[in-house]
Amino acid sequence: MDALDGMSSRKTTRPTCEQFRHSFEEYDHIVNVLRASTGHRPSLAIICGSGLGGLADLLTDTDSIEYDDIPFFPISTVHGHVGRLVFGMLNEVSVVCMQGRFHFYEGWAMQNIAIPVRVFKLLGVQTIIVTNASGAVNPDYKVGDIMLIKDHINLPGMIGANPLMGLNDARWGPRFPALSLAYDRQLLQLARKVALGIGFGEDLREGVYMMVSGPTFETVAEARAGRILGADCMGMSTAPEVIVAKHCGMRVLGISLITNIIIQQYDRDDEPNHQEVLMIGQQRAANMQLLVAEVVKQIGHQA
């Protein structure tokens, strides 16, 4: 009898695997709030990486909404991430820009990092441009290079922190999504063509981004491991957003700005720091803006 009592009480206190997730209906609510705050109906979204918030300055006729004012949204806690959605027009395309993103190292669950991506989906966004600042482990890369992301290695995901963990709501996408085409090949080709057309040369790269959780920068051994595993650069974001975007059927373009070369030698005395990351972001802001603006223009022409 005691054993049966134990079983029934276990049933009523069963933990939920939904604890970090929001229901489809809650996402609908967020979208209704946003639609009431702006007349823009974006078809394209841009996520601004560290030091790259200036991408939002490209937009005209803007409406800005603070994350604080959006139900269920996390808030930005990192210097260089303002913390608002900017809606507006860019080269005749209706765009929403995330000026400030959420990182795993800030303490957000993987599922919460990508809340905005699902909101964008329900807003009607079909294409997302995800940008980031990252450190290079490819010995050919230089500070200031711009790398089109052709693939990623999601290190946290490979050891148990994937944003799609938990019950799957098929309204978003399948239980077991494929990621071999996560970075849209046509968009990659378009971005390459645009970049070469506006004068990028040896500073244009195409490579593999490895996500690590951060907030620590890499040890020498970790940097070497990243390279051995196939990374060209390493960063602390992007993979969760890309996974969730691909899961719900968006086309994804990823762009990394190489802000530092990750130290892989034991005889070096210098250390990386976030100020340097933000500074390189500012220095290369104009080039990133030129590239993104032109890519968006071409996407608009194709639509």
Ligand X SMILES: O=P(O)(O)O[C@@H]1C[C@H](O)[C@@H](CO)O1
Ligand Y SMILES: Nc1nc2[nH]cnc2c(=O)[nH]1
Choosing from 236, 288, 292, 293, the residue that interacts with ligand Y (CB under 6 A) is 236
Using CB under 6 A as the binding rule, whether residue 235 contacts ligand X is answered as: yes
Taking the CB of residue 18, how many other CB atoms lie within 10 A of it? 12
Minimum CB–partner distance for residue 81 and ligand X (Å):
7
> For residue 164, how many C-alpha atoms fall within 13 Å in the half-sphere facing its CB?
23
Closest CA to 292 of 79, 41, 36, 95: 95
Q: Which one, 38 or 259, has the nearer CB to ligand Y?
A: 259
Using CB under 6 A as the binding rule, whether residue 259 contacts ligand Y is answered as: yes
The single residue of 40, 56, 67, 81 carrying the catalytic annotation is 81
Whether 248 contacts 121, CB under 8 Å: yes
Helix (H) or strand (E) holding 160: none
Using CB under 6 A as the binding rule, whether residue 111 contacts ligand Y is answered as: no
User: Residue of minimal CB distance from ligand X?
Assistant: 49
Q: Which one, 53 or 173, has the nearer CB to ligand X?
A: 53
Q: Which one, 211 or 250, has the nearer CB to ligand X?
A: 211
User: Residue of minimal CB distance from ligand Y?
Assistant: 135
Which residues fall within 8 angstroms of residue 235, CB to CB, at 6 or more apart? Answer: 132, 133, 134, 135, 209, 210, 211, 212, 256
Q: Which residues ranging from 5 to 64 are in contact with ligand X (CB under 6 A)? A: 49-50
Asked if residue 133 belongs to a known ligand binding site, the reply is yes
Give the angle 177-247-188 at the CA atoms, nearest 5°.
Answer: 100
Whether 198 contacts 294, CB under 8 Å: yes
Q: Which residues ranging from 87 to 106 are in contact with ligand X (CB under 6 A)? A: 101, 103
Q: Is the dihedral of CA 13, 18, 20, 22 positive or negative?
A: negative
DSSP state of 217: P
Question: Pick from ligand Y, ligand X, none: which does 49 bind, CB < 5 to 8 A by kind?
Answer: ligand X
Using CB under 6 A as the binding rule, whether residue 99 contacts ligand Y is answered as: no
Active site residue 152: no
Residues facing residue 87 across a β-bridge: 63, 96
Asked if residue 102 belongs to a known ligand binding site, the reply is yes
The single residue of 260, 287, 288, 294 carrying the catalytic annotation is 260
Taking the CB of residue 63, how many other CB atoms lie within 10 A of it? 15
Choosing from 47, 262, 292, 293, the residue that interacts with ligand Y (CB under 6 A) is 262
Q: Which one, 198 or 279, has the nearer CB to ligand Y?
A: 279
Asked if residue 237 belongs to a known ligand binding site, the reply is yes
The single residue of 237, 239, 247, 287 carrying the catalytic annotation is 237
Using CB under 6 A as the binding rule, whether residue 133 contacts ligand Y is answered as: yes
Whether 55 contacts 131, CB under 8 Å: yes
Using CB under 6 A as the binding rule, whether residue 214 contacts ligand X is answered as: yes
Give the angle 35-64-249 at the CA atoms, nearest 5°.
Answer: 55
What is the Cα–Cα distance from 237 to 53, expressed in whole angstroms?
15
The stretch among 13-21, 147-155, 179-187, 234-242 that binds ligand X (CB under 6 A) is 234-242
CA 231 from centre of chain: 17
Active site residue 133: yes
Using CB under 6 A as the binding rule, whether residue 222 contacts ligand Y is answered as: no
Binding stretches for ligand X (CB under 6 A): 49-50, 78, 101, 103, 132-133, 214, 235-237, 274, 277
Site residues (CB under 6 A) for ligand Y? Answer: 133-135, 212, 214, 217-218, 234-236, 259-260, 262, 272, 277
Give the residue numbers marked as catalytic: 50, 81, 103, 105-106, 133, 236-237, 260, 274
